[in-house]
Amino acid sequence: MNRSWPLAVVLGCFFSVLAPSAGAFSILYDSPILIAPRWDAPGGHVSINVGVEQGFAASFNVTDPDEVALLYGALEAAFRAWESPVLSFNIQLESALVVDGTFAGNQIDVLAVTSNHPAVSGGFFASTDSSWDYGPRTLTNGSVEDGYIIERGDLWVNIGLVLVIRRALTQDEQLGAFQRLFMHEIGHLLGVGHPNSNNPFGVETNWDTDLDPFNPMQIDPLDPLGNLQMSPNRDDSTVMSNRPCGDSSLDICDALFRTTLGYDELGARAVLYPNVPEPGSLALWAVAGLAALGRHPRGTRRRGPTA
C-alpha cells in the first residue's frame, strides 16, 4: 500500500520520527554492548510499573467510553507486545502517581504534552528519556555483570501533532499507527535503538548473528552476546526503524501500521532480556536451534563485544 494524501508531508514527518521484519538490531547510543543499558532483573525477571497519566485519552479529544477503551487497548497492546516469560509490565491507567521527569513517579510514566514541551519541541510525535546508573546488575539469565542500569523512564506524546493525524486516518489506521508509535518508544525505554540509522555519535551499531537481516537471530540465552557481529544490512520496515517507508516523506506504507514485533525486536529482546528455557525444554530448544543454524549457515561466527 502506497498513497499520497493532502497531509502527506505532515504525515511523512510524523512517521519518519516514530521515535524513533528482520534479524538485526541496535542498542542505544555507542556504549559497548556488554554494558548496554537495560533494566535490572532480580530473581531473573524484569517487572516494570507503568503509569498512564490522568486525562491522557481526553488530551486527544477522546471522551466516548468506547473510543477511550480502544485507545487504551492499543496502548496496553503495545506494552504487551514486548512481554516475554522474563519481561512484563504492570500498567496503571489514569494514574495519579505520574510525574513529568525521569527521577520520580512510576518506573515508566506516560504523558500527553503540548508541542512546546522540551521533549517534543523538535517536531516529534513522541519522545522518551530515561535515567541510568552504573554498577552490578542481574540479567534475566541469572548472571550478574556490571553495566548501565535503567532505573526510570518517561514517554511523552505530542498532543498537537497526534490531533493532526487523527483527521487524516481512519479509526483502524489511527489505532494501528498509535500502537506502532508506542511499540517503537517502548523499545527505546528497554534499551533498543534504530537498526537503520547512525546513533547520535555517528557510529553504526547494527547487530546480527549473520549478515542476512531477513531471518531470525540465533541467540543462546546463556551467552546472548557470543554469536553477535556487526552487520551493514538492515530492514527499514521493522518496528524500531525510523524510516519504515524509505527516505521519502510522502509515502504511507503498510509498515507504518505494523503492530507485531519482527525479527529485529525479537532479537534485541533475546539479547537484552534472555529467556533460559525450563530444564525439560532445553533439549528441544537445542535441537531446534541446531536445525535453524543448519538452514542459515553462511556468515555465522562467534565474536565478542566491541565498542
Which pLDDT tens digit goes with each residue over 136-174? Answer: 999 999 999 999 999 999 999 999 988 987 888 889 999
The torsion of the CA quartet 132, 134, 139, 144, rounded to 10 degrees, works out to -170
CA gap 8, 142 in Å, rounded = 48
Dihedral-angle region of residue 16 (phi above 0 means left; psi in -120 to 50 means alpha; beta otherwise): alpha
pLDDT at 15 over 90: no
Mean pLDDT, range 179-202, rounded to an integer: 81
Pick from 161, 164, 191: which is nearest to 48 by CA? 191
Which residues on adjacent β-strands are paired with residue 198? none
Buried/exposed code over 106-131 (b: 16+ C-beta within 10 A; e: otherwise): bbbbbbbbeeebebbeeebbbbbebe
Mean pLDDT, range 66-90, rounded to an integer: 97
Residue 10's pLDDT band, with cuts at 50, 70 and 90, is very low
- What pLDDT shows up at residue 175? 93
- Residue 14's H or E segment, with its range, is helix 8-16
pLDDT at 16 over 60: no
Handedness of CA 192, 237, 246, 74 (dihedral sign): negative
CA gap 158, 162 in Å, rounded = 6
Task: Give the highest mean pLDDT range of 40-49, 186-195, 225-234.
Answer: 40-49
Higher local confidence (pLDDT), 91 or 216: 91
- What pLDDT shows up at residue 150? 95
For the chain, what is the mean pLDDT?
80
* Amino acid letter for position 20: P
pLDDT at 231 over 60: yes
CA gap 252, 242 in Å, rounded = 13
pLDDT at 227 over 60: yes
- What pLDDT shows up at residue 286? 52
pLDDT at 241 over 70: yes
**Residue position matching grid coordinates 513522541:** 126
Pick from 146, 145, 142, 284: which is nearest to 221 by CA? 142
* Amino acid letter for position 162: V
CA gap 157, 142 in Å, rounded = 35
Pick from 237, 231, 305, 300: which is nearest to 271 by CA? 305
- What pLDDT shows up at residue 22? 38
How does pLDDT run across 18-45, given as a tens digit for each residue?
A: 333 335 788 776 568 889 999 999 999 9
Mean pLDDT, range 230-250, rounded to an integer: 76
Identify whether the C-beta of residue 190 lies closer than 8 Å to the C-beta of residue 82: yes
pLDDT at 13 over 50: no
Pairing of strands 144-158, 126-138: antiparallel
Domain ranges in the chain are 8-272
**The three cell numbers locating residue 276:** 533460559
Mean pLDDT, range 186-207, rounded to an integer: 74
Task: Give the highest mean pLDDT range of 28-42, 44-58, 170-184.
Answer: 44-58
Rg of the chain over CA atoms, in angstroms?
19
Cα end-to-end span (Å), the chain: 39
**Domain spanning 8-272, CATH architecture:** 3-Layer(aba) Sandwich (3.40)
